[in-house]
Amino acid sequence: MRGLVLEAHPGRLGPEKTKTLGEWLARAGFVLRREEHERYLYFSREPAELPATWSFDRVANHFEDHIERSLPGYRDGHDLICRAMDSFLRDDSRVYELGCATGALARAILARQADRPGLRYVGIDTSERMVEIARRRSDGDVRAEYRVADAAETVLEPCSVVVSYYTLQFVPLRHRGRIVLRIYDGLEPGGAFFLFEKVRQDDTEREVMAAEWLHRFKRDRGFSWAEIRAKDRALEGVLETQTAGENEAMLRDAGFDTVVPIAQWIPFQGWLAIRHRG
Ligand SMILES: C[S@@+](CC[C@H](N)C(=O)[O-])C[C@H]1O[C@@H](n2cnc3c(N)ncnc32)[C@H](O)[C@@H]1O
């Protein structure tokens, strides 16, 4: 259905009820186009706002603005990882980021490690457009290398740190255990893996509450209900969440025996997993 006309005199409904009705329908994907007729409220679906499937290539141009308004603490997470990473780096360390997008975290890491000319950062992403933008924004920093590649196919060279900041959730579940195993194998003894994921809650009540909080966060940052709903739909089957317990079990199964939760904003969580020495 593209359009819906309700015989509901806006003047009689009053602003509060009209707003509630508008919000209720917006959650179902309708946009209110009202006051065109004194007696009817007219709602329609916005086809442009309802992409069938999510595409990172398509959002690449405005990715950082988009994610800051969609992901609570996006920059705070970068800051935390950058600071925590200090303890695991040497002057000639190699750092991998799986799903580097436009290179925002890479730039933060490299700026903090400005006095380490021998450091190497390797960013991997399946989106050509993201990688193109990341390269352009890296401002000729020779320590940074960006590759168009799939995390599921990548074998890591020996490294001190690996980061997956909201990326593994986009990789089909059947590949994740193998990827984490390769990360463990690629890390030098004492190396660190930072994993940040959207997590599924343990029960439906908490899942609904988490979704509502996140929707409100996005509303407060200027997204319409229709846009929020459209994105939720587009991500169905693309973003596959695991519970916090499942993520921790995945890390332990790969061999990490230190697995520490370091950040949480329901429904987002971050862990530091350390490969032990010897
Ligand atoms: C939420 S974004 C990551 C944000 C980024 N880490 C940052 O801090 O700005 C997820 C990224 O993962 C990439 N991606 C999705 N599946 C991937 C895969 N199998 N291998 C590598 N990158 C992937 C997407 O193209 C997208 O750029």
| Residues 10-43: tens digit of each pLDDT | 566 666 666 666 666 656 655 555 444 455 565 5
Does residue 47 have a pLDDT over 60? no
Nearest CA to ligand 1 atom 1: 166
Read off the pLDDT of each residue in 84-113 and give the average, rounded to a whole number.
Answer: 98
What is the pTM (predicted TM-score) of this model? Answer: 0.84
The CA-to-CA distance between both ends of the chain, in Å, stands at 62
Residue 154: the pLDDT is 95
Ligand 1 centroid–CA 97 distance in Å is 9
Q: Where are the domains of the chain?
A: 3-45, 56-202+233-274
Ligand 1 centroid–CA 164 distance in Å is 8
Q: Which atom of ligand 1 is nearest to 71's Cα?
A: 1
Ligand 1 centroid–CA 125 distance in Å is 6
φ, ψ for residue 240, nearest 5 deg = -115, 110
Closest CA to 28 of 56, 8, 50, 10: 50
Read off the pLDDT of each residue in 103-128 and give the average, rounded to a whole number.
Answer: 98
Residue 53: the pLDDT is 79
pLDDT, tens digit, 9 for 90 and up, residues 92-102? 999 999 999 99
Q: Which atom of ligand 1 is nearest to 103's Cα?
A: 9
**How far is residue 90's CA from residue 188's CA, in Å, rounded to a whole number?**
12
Residue among 53, 170, 197 whose CB has most ligand 1 atoms within 8 A, to mutate: 170
In the beta sheet, which residues pair with residue 3? Answer: 44
Q: Per the CATH hierarchy, to which homologous superfamily does domain 56-202+233-274 belong? A: Vaccinia Virus protein VP39 (3.40.50.150)
105 touches ligand 1 (CB under 6 Å): yes
Give the three-state DSSP class for 116: coil
In the beta sheet, which residues pair with residue 257? Answer: none
Angle between helices 74-85 and 104-112 (to 10 degrees): 40
Which helix (H) or strand (E) segment holds residue 164: the answer is strand 159-165
98 touches ligand 1 (CB under 6 Å): yes
